[in-house]
Structure 1
Amino acid sequence: MAEMGALKMDNPLPSPAFTNNHHEHTLKEESWKHRAPYQIQSPQEFGPVKWRAKCKCGKISYTLRQDKPLNAKFCHCRGCQVMHGAPFQWAAIFHKEDVNFAKGCSGLSFYSSSQNSQKYQMPTKVSCSYCHTLIMDEGRNVCLLFPQLIEFEGSLDEQRKQRDAFRPTCHIFYEQRMMDIPDRTPKWSGMDGTSHLLDDEGIPIDQQCDEMRGDNM
């Protein structure tokens, strides 16, 4: 007991001011847990549910309250190919306020590709910490969800009709594609609206127009 008393004297507890500052810093760092889409909301707070989604193992689930996304795209960039282990990524864009995770951030893992870090920081890639299903890419104001996780119901024909709500409006980073996709959907060499439009075979459309004008001269 004497030794314990001496130990306390040699290693006094931090002053209250230090403890409070540390507490405030922790609260600030973890404030994202209390914002959309991780803030848990009751059905009354969130409103009518339009879509339900879950990961492969079912430990992570979320709901959506909008009929359609703000936009939907196929992304062919190398990063998406590697992360998804697929030729391209299918992403639907929603405001974070329109997404509600049933268990908040519990059971989620985060990865920042720009910082190569698992610490939560935006933008971040979000996945189930158990089965590692990719859930979404979270940005500052919106999140990119993956429609494959949404639970479409009914017959196969009915499910196909439901998926039309998430039909992509364009392909982006089509220059990096693994295959040609002749689907009559606009294809951009990079980001949509700020790069070159390509045809199904990846040839710039403006180049084709120049060649056609040259043939007519």
Structure 2
Amino acid sequence: MMLDGGCYCGDVRYRMEGEPICVNGCHCRDCQTLSGAAFAVNAMIEADRVTLSKGGPVTDAFGTKCSRCGVLLWATHPMFGKDILFLRAGTLDEADRLTPDLHVFVRSKHPWIVLPEGVPAFDTLPGEGDSLFSPAQQARVAAAMQA
């Protein structure tokens, strides 16, 4: 899979190469506020699989964004470090090609959101013992974090 994306004003463009490790729907209050929506859809992927093709985004406390229009393109998470990105799927040109594999922070989900049956959902983040990742996904996370 190869998908291109970018910010609203077009100053920053990027390419995501390969399947995401997973795609999550995050219903936390931070993602709601940062996205201006009921939840954010994040494609978790190795940082070396995302390349800039135009522009120079800036990174601040919230993540990497376009300095002109302010659109958040991706962020990192303290549990995974700088080598794993949580790319905002809505910034992809073909965002509809990615659907969440799981939903997190559903305790703050808007009541009118109906989650699909069979898709794992967690009140907060998955806990120890939750089988969040397949062995192949676990291997990708481990390899990226050792890089």
TM-score by length of 2: 0.75
Residues 55/69 of structure 1: CA separation in 2 closer, same or farther (3 Å cut):
same
Amino acid at match of 1:147: A
**Which of 81, 84, 88 matches 1:142?**
84
Shift of 1:96: 0.5
Shift of 1:80: 1.0
The higher-RCO structure (CA 8 Å, 6+ apart) is: 2
Give the Cα separation in 1 of the matches to 2:85 and 2:68.
21
From the two aligned structures, give the one with the greater helix fraction.
1
1:170 and 1:192 in contact (8 A); partners too:
no
**Distance change >3 Å, CA 182–CA 98, structure 1 → 2:** closer
Report the aligned-residue RMSD. Answer: 2.2
Aligned residues: 124
User: What residue in structure 1 maps to residue 49 of structure 2?
Assistant: 98
Q: What residue number does 1:46 align with? A: none
Match of 1:86 in 2: 37
Map 1:116-195 to 2 at 5 A: 124-138=62-76, 139-152=81-94, 160=96, 163=97, 166-179=98-111, 180-184=113-117, 185-194=119-128
| SS at structure 2 position matched to 1:58 | coil
Show structure 1 runs of 4+ deviating over 6 A: none
Using structure 1 for the length normalisation, give the TM-score: 0.52
Structure 1: where are the runs of 5+ without partners? 1-48, 113-123, 153-158, 197-217
Once the 2 structures are TM-superposed, how far is the Cα of residue 130 of structure 1 from its aligned partner? 0.5
Unaligned runs of 5+ in 2: 131-147
